[in-house]
Structure 1
């Protein structure tokens, strides 16, 4: 009897199980309250136990039915369940999806418009997988830095030698008893500051903000066959707030983040392509511990799109799947043509690689039902800010192969907005008050949004972010162009107005804006194709060729649009040519050929990257050609005068002189009543500062020649040239002479009292327009001296002196600029009034300031023994002795004929030298 009762109990339980399974499958919904794992049905031998088990299932089923009302299911890569009333979102993972790699991309969709928090910024890209551990689901970032060929003995040790990163552990909410699919509450994964925004805000705003769960929620969520798209809105608060202008109350702010979880394409026929240091591509690098890879532990693949010709036998063929860029519907219609032209400029390069119409441009409809950050779309996006002024072209890459999967370009409206305004009303956002904190010299100023919370793989390395598990790539400290680019283009607009009398609303100005935006987009598209900067690209043409449109329309204005090119402003008396490139350069075509040309001898399954080595070497052998010269971010550190930002032509000595001459003409025009009647004089101060910065930026290019050496990425046997070639002694002497004439000479700066007395500051004080607590009148001496000092100190910097000393050994005798010649040339040029035996002449106030600074530098070199080159110390000591003698002689001969300023200046300088030399002797 008991045997039959037990069988009846088992049948009853099986019926409950059948009913439960069919209810789950038809409703496609979850129980919010059921957070326990639903285990398989046990064998029940006791009727009382069976009855209790059945009652438990009844209660669970009842709770489930109460919570499934209004729940929406979206099937796709991962199934999503959304509860409209509670706002909860659940993610379903199939058993076969566990321990499988997926790509995550995280984008900041809404920003603050200032201080580095901008709409559209990529936050993170990484490879991840889900791993089940008991009743928890781990979200694991995969370590792709180290690999070994499958089957080798060391493969067993690799997994335990290096760790993955378990970012989160989430409780399994429930398990489908039939399919065994795991259900997790997505809020526990993504609304726990998954992207590290708290640290980002602390890093960027210098304030402590905390995440408010009650103010955070999910927006749109969508699941597609190969990707999941999720919007999350985060609320933050800070009791003290931050120094922010754009917020109505800085104690509270909201940020929107877009997540894309996508399937990683595998076995799609893509062949990774080996990198070559002579061709500038971003790379995917990993250490290979295989036995046959002992000489070079790193394997480096270039990052590129998977382009396949539709007809592999044809020399020119359309791709099976072109690269498509969508212009976001938020881009103003007036700029869309320029953007389209900038993108399509690259099809010229792909023709050389065998592809016809490799890139397409489409317009995002106003009623589009997809999101610009959707990983399936490459978009060109537009955003607004108070202080950004940059463009950026990040890409998302398969970190296992280097295949580019997605790219989104973002452009700040400020990059073109200031040009469209009246010249005399340009915003003072780039005023001298802010510029003084920037790095002086030829280099550009770029903005970084990286923060420690995004780990090593999101840390800036000086150019783009070094990839590890995250394969996101940003430009020089994370941003392309930046504030310096906005300054350059505004300067160009001012030059059009002052030098060519161009009106703000003229056709010339519209063409200027069009050329600028087209060039910016072409540069950023180049990044999304995998290309790095090439700061040698600007050196292709001679100065006399820059405004010859017959050359620039065909060959290009520069060897590469991947350089940071200034506005091409024609010198006085020369017909203006192109302001910015209209075609890509020879280097760009060659680089695309290396990255994308199909190897006709390699096809079929099982092809390895090593099989293409000889094919790629043949392409790279062309690198010694001058128009293919390549120098990227890490090559622009004072050593190579032709690897600079914002320079132009193969002879910067001539180009810089032209631009400084242009600046002097612009100052004269400003002095001639440039402002219209009724305009505030504060606008004149903005423009004067802009020209002054432009003048010294070009002067700083000259200083790069002193101790400079060209550097080329040559390989042995390919060319008889040296990797390093010192700048000729003639050019270095020319550079010193021009610096003396345009920076240090007595008559280098001459401004009328009328102009200086019209340089009034802005007196508007409100949000976005603070009154800086500095001198009300224009501090002309301080401004000039700050620039003179920057150049002078760079010439006598310890690193430069060390290079000059080394170059003497690397050159033939008498063919290098010696340290004594540098010290002597600077001293006699700066103290001309002391060393010349001519009649007594008063020393002007600007010259006295410069001489005091030169004296300060020499005294610091003599008295400071820390990290000071001994050769420099001894030469500084010698120059001080010579200067002291010359001062004493001048005072003895003409002391009574000199004005009091000059006498006091010279006597004080002599006294300082005496005391310093005595102190130096005593210290020994």
Structure 2
């Protein structure tokens, strides 16, 4: 029998319990926790901002956290990427930055991110606390304390560093390239790029994703699709001090911003606060009009860039020095080659990085910004190496003449001119500047516009590309840098000083409009476009069509070097045949177009104005020209030069036209693609709805019914041609019908726009039934379309396809930006590939 414990034993147990509580459980735990010194014996120490300890035997990386509760900056990035433009995940890609702090609770340390999107800028601590506790924080990781000493704690950071911090698996899944997940057994710390400096600590890791069902983009770039290995980089950075003064955002100024809600704002003011994004730049003599700076902005160019491109990038980046000089800063902007021993991921280096991909893609400028203030900490440019080959291909199509042995110096000159401009453009983004797509209406006012090559004609109708791209920074760029960085007089009203600078550029005729007003294919401003030239989009479209005709009429085998497969002529033909695509987009915006600016109340002028009926009619006339057989037909000499793709050259290349004819070049597919491009823009649901609105408001302005009548007259009611041009007519007519059906069922269009489209479909059905023809091809065409229409009217909710438009070759700046948003109709998925 087990006896009950005596009162003496109970008393002893209680005494021990009170002893532990009185002496402190924490002390007891502390006595059991080793010191950092003893715990890290035999490990490699890396002292710095966050001191690291490397345990080579166990493959673990430990972090010594010296200051708990102190806010620092953390951001992940990709040191070694995937190499696929379609999936993303480029070398050097930087992910969003986070203000974080290490918070201890017992034996656990949490990596916590405060919510700086919601603040209270006030001295009232309780008011701040009320906002802080109203919105969620984010805990990015939890660490166990392994050792401590002198107020410092040691935690195992290995698992944190070996995570898929860039979301690579999600990117692969999102682009439908397979189902992948992190395999911890194939992940490890990458020591050569793991370093700690006084103000930043950089950790790099090799991570491997395993999975299956790899898509074509992934198969193109991985040696084995069952294992995708990348290198993930983690940066912990000391936040800037409090000596930086944020500058308030003005929508007219042409500078990017950070925004947040300030709940300490008086009720009669906007709760949303916006600061511009800019580097810190301080004059040595703040009272001097032009002064040396305390610390210049230095950009480094990737030494992995080959010559002569490297020199072009350095030259283009240097253009910004002139803008800073005009803003009052002497020797404030410098460009150097990145030292061989420097880590490109290091926060201390503003970098222009050269990145390789398996297919051509976009370049971009970004970096790391302090989300609290808008101060730019690191500027980072990514330039895709295949971009220069795109520009060379454009030049090759325009003026290439490979007759025997020829160096074609003009081709390389144009390509390098574009590289200088591209470097300046992307660096401009890292300085805080957004796109200014209306700048091309004021000469060549900005490198922040997307430039189409300026192609001129000599008096004897020869193509001239000697002035394809401008040299040097633009006038608008100087204005934007001055607004962002200029030192205003002490005590001056900053908003008033910015307003003065805005009025100065407006008085010179300069304007600022950015992406939201240019990129959507249905956008309305008649001057704000990507890849266009000139002040008037209609005039430039007419000029571009003239250039295109001359190039196509003179197209020959001399467009490719000797020894090149003849089939490769198609790769040169594509950008020439589609040479007018961006001016088509620009001219389409004149139809139902509206001119406006980012006007503030109190400014003089009208905030919005409709494009005149004369200009709209002129634009429609030019757009309809792009749908005629005369414009769409290829010269016979061109078609006779292009054989099927040879062995070893994929027939499904994204750089050539899709086709219905197998390996053989399809003479109708280019016409179909180009016509679909024009119709997608002209009959965009937003534009169709605006046409209805504008005619209701002012009957002198063209309405949707009038536009559709002219379109139908040009296509369905035009005299039927024979042969090749007749087949082009029928392709375009089917496309017109398909677009009308799509518009009639498009929920993004207004009900009246849909009704008018439905009316015109009905009228067209009756007209086709009464059309008499002995042309067997036209008879087949009519009967086919009637059968589809009968099915549509019998059940309008069914998906009806008259013609599924072919996908265009690869996207801008060579391909088209319009995808097949017609397939299938009634799906209402009208996404546009605008990048």
Q: TM-score, length-normalised on structure 1?
A: 0.76
Counterparts of 1:108-127 in structure 2, within 5 Å, are 108-114=78-84, 115-127=87-99
1:90 match = 62
Who is 2:685 aligned against? 798
| Offset, 1:358 | 1.5
Change (3 A) 1:277 1:852: same
Query: Is residue 325–residue 378 contact of structure 1 (8 Å, CA) maintained in 2?
Result: yes
Q: What per-residue deviation string (whole Å, max 9, x for no partner) do you get for residues 207-264 of structure 1?
A: 2323232322222322222111212121222255554222221111221122221111
Cα distance, 1:187 vs. partner?
0.6
Alignment match, 1:451:
none
Query: What does residue 484 of structure 2 align with?
Result: 595
Equivalent residues of 2:688, 2:749 under 8 A apart:
no
Over residues 160-195 of structure 1, what are the superposed CA-to-partner deviations in whole Å (9 max), with x where a residue is unaligned? 10121011111111111xx12100012132223344
Report matched runs for 1:347-496 at 5 Å. Answer: 347-366=321-340, 368=341, 370-416=342-388, 418=389, 486=390, 490-496=393-399
Partner of 2:628: 745
Alpha carbons 1:831, 1:851 under 8 Å: kept: yes
Determine the C-alpha separation between the residues in 2 that align with 1:726 and 1:245. 49
**Mean alpha-carbon deviation: is it higher for 334-343 or for 124-133?**
334-343
Which whole-Å CA distance do the structure 2 matches of 1:330 and 1:794 have between them?
A: 41
Which residue of structure 2 lines up, in the alignment, with residue 223 of structure 1?
A: 196
1:190 paired residue number = 161
Q: Verify: 1:104 aligned to 2:77, yes or no.
A: no
- Counterpart position of 1:855: 737
> What pairs with 1:113-512 in structure 2 (closer than 5 Å)?
113-114=83-84, 115-152=87-124, 153-176=126-149, 179-204=150-175, 206-218=177-189, 219-220=191-192, 221-238=194-211, 241=214, 243-267=218-242, 269-292=243-266, 294-366=268-340, 368=341, 370-416=342-388, 418=389, 486=390, 490-497=393-400, 505-512=407-414
Report the secondary structure of 2:592's partner residue: coil
The alignment covers a number of residue pairs equal to 756
Displacement of 1:397: 0.9
Superposed CA deviations along residues 306-351 of structure 1, whole A, max 9, x for unmatched, are 1111111211112111100112222224223211221121122112
Q: What secondary structure is seen at the aligned counterpart in 1 of 2:516?
A: helix
The match for 2:641 among 739, 750, 758 is 758
Q: Does 1:827 align with 2:673?
A: no
Among candidates 446, 449, 474, match of residue 585 of structure 1 = 474
SS at match of 1:505: coil
How far apart are residue 841 of structure 1 and its match? Answer: 12
SS at match of 1:394: strand
Superposed displacement of residue 661, structure 1: 1.7
Match of 1:619 in 2: 501
CA distance in 1, matches of 2:557, 2:219: 40
CA distance in 1, matches of 2:454, 2:51: 55
CA change 1:849–1:200 in 2 (3 A) is: closer
Structure 1 unaligned residues grouped into runs of 5+:
1-36, 44-52, 419-485, 542-557, 604-610
Deviations 1:659-712 (A, max 9, x none): 222222222222576556654221122222222222344333322221111221
Q: Give the SS at the match of 2:494.
A: helix
- Once residues 798 and 629 of structure 1 are traced to their aligned partners in structure 2, the CA distance between those partners, rounded to angstroms, is 28
Q: Which has the larger radius of gyration?
A: 1
Cα distance in 1 between the residues matched to 2:229 and 2:531: 37
1:301 is displaced (CA, Å) by 0.2
Measured after TM superposition, the shift of residue 566 of structure 1 is 1.2
Query: Given the superposition, is the C-alpha separation of residues 572 and 214 from structure 1 closer, same or farther in structure 2, using an over 3 Å criterion?
Result: same
1:826 deviates by 1.4
* In the alignment, structure 1 residue 530 sits paired with structure 2 residue 432: yes
Q: What are the ranges of 5 or more consecutive residues in structure 2 without an aligned counterpart?
A: 1-23, 797-835
Q: Are the counterparts in 2 of residues 116 and 204 from structure 1 also a CA contact under 8 Å? A: no
* Alignment partners' CA distance in 2, 1:911 and 1:195: 52
CA contact (8 A) 2:633 2:728 kept: no
SS at match of 2:553: helix
User: Does the 8 A contact of 2:365 with 2:427 survive in 1?
Assistant: yes
**Distance in 1 separating the partners of 2:709 and 2:416:** 49
Change (3 A) 1:911 1:73: closer
CA distance in 2, matches of 1:240, 1:332: 36
Query: Cα distance 1:291–1:780, how it changes in 2: closer, same or farther (>3 A)?
Result: same
User: 2:343, 2:410 → 1: CA distance?
Assistant: 36
Q: 1:514 aligns with which of 402, 409, 416?
A: 416
Match of 1:571 in 2: 457
C-alpha contact 1:764 1:770 (8 A) present in aligned 2: no
Does structure 2 retain, via aligned residues, the 8 Å contact 1:315–1:354? yes
In 2, the alpha carbon distance for the partners of 1:105 and 1:915 equals 56
Residue number in structure 2 paired with 1:562: 448
Give the Cα separation in 2 of the matches to 1:840 and 1:119.
54
Q: 1:521 to 1:675 in 2, by over 3 A?
A: closer
Deviations 1:593-626 (A, max 9, x none): 11011011249xxxxxxx5222222222335346
Q: Distance in 2 between matches of 1:510 and 1:873?
A: 50
Residues 290 and 755 of structure 1: CA distance in aligned 2, closer, same or farther (over 3 Å): same
Using the TM superposition, name which of 880-889 and 395-404 deviates more: 880-889
Task: Classify 1:333/1:69 alpha carbon distance in 2 versus 1 (closer, same or farther; 3 Å).
Answer: farther
SS of residue matched to 1:330: coil
Any conservation in 2 of the 1:685–1:760 contact (CA below 8 Å)?
no
Alignment of 1:652-691 (within 5 A): 652-671=537-556, 674=559, 678-691=563-576
Q: Which whole-Å CA distance do the structure 1 matches of 2:221 and 2:787 have between them?
A: 54
Change in 2 beyond 3 A, CA 1:134/1:509: same
Tell me the secondary structure at the aligned position of residue 525 of structure 1.
helix
2:415, 2:317 → 1: CA distance? 16
Q: Separation in 1 of the partners of 2:25 and 2:348? A: 36
**Distance 1:807-1:626 versus aligned 2 partners, 3 A rule:** farther
Q: Which residue of 2 aligns with 1:716?
A: 601
Q: Deviations over 1:29-59 (max 9, x none)?
A: xxxxxxxx9964799xxxxxxxxx9xx89xx
Cα contact 1:599–1:612 (8 A) shared by 2 = yes
Does the C-alpha gap of structure 1 residues 38 and 324 become closer, same or farther in structure 2, counting only changes over 3 Å?
farther
Over aligned residue pairs, what C-alpha RMSD do you find? Answer: 3.4
SS in structure 2 of the partner of residue 622 of structure 1: helix
CA contact (8 A) 2:260 2:273 kept: yes
| 1:388–1:491 CA distance, 2 compared to 1 (3 A) | closer
Where do residues 30-49 of structure 1 align in structure 2 (5 Å cutoff)?
Answer: 40=27
1:527–1:38 CA distance, 2 compared to 1 (3 A): farther
Whether the 8 Å contact between 1:211 and 1:236 is mirrored in structure 2 is yes
Conservation of the 8 A alpha-carbon contact between 2:76 and 2:165 = no
Give me the whole-angstrom Cα distance separating, in 2, the residues matched to 1:42 and 1:869. 70
Match of 2:512 in 1: 630
